Amino acid sequence: MPGPTKQAPPPLQVDTARVVLVGIGVWVVALGVLLILGDRVDRMWTWTCVAAIALALLGLWVMKLQGQLPRRRSEPGGR
């Protein structure tokens, strides 16, 4: 006989856009380091950074299309 089961904890509220933006920042820093190092590193790593940044930006765009990004409130006065 199975014992008593515990209730699942409530899901965490995470700002996914902020997580993706931090990840993009990390990849941009890595890309900068690789560009500074120049020919001392394999170009595969440079393209890996470029691909990661592009895919993250694509992910942000998909999140916007799905309505997952918080909408900005318009400022009073029509701005």
List, for residues 33-74, the tens digit of each pLDDT value. Answer: 999 999 999 999 999 999 999 999 999 999 999 988 877 666
Contact assessment for residue 77 and residue 52, using Cβ atoms and an 8 Å cutoff = no
Residue type, 14: V
Q: Which long-range contacts (CB under 8 A, 24 or more apart) does 9-17 make?
A: 15/70, 16/63, 16/68, 17/60, 17/63, 17/68, 17/69, 17/70
DSSP code of 22?
H
**What's this model's pTM, rounded to 2 decimal places?**
0.74
- Judged by phi (left if over 0) then psi (alpha if -120 to 50, else beta), residue 7 lies in beta
pLDDT of residue 75: 58
Span 28-42, pLDDT tens digits = 999 999 999 999 999
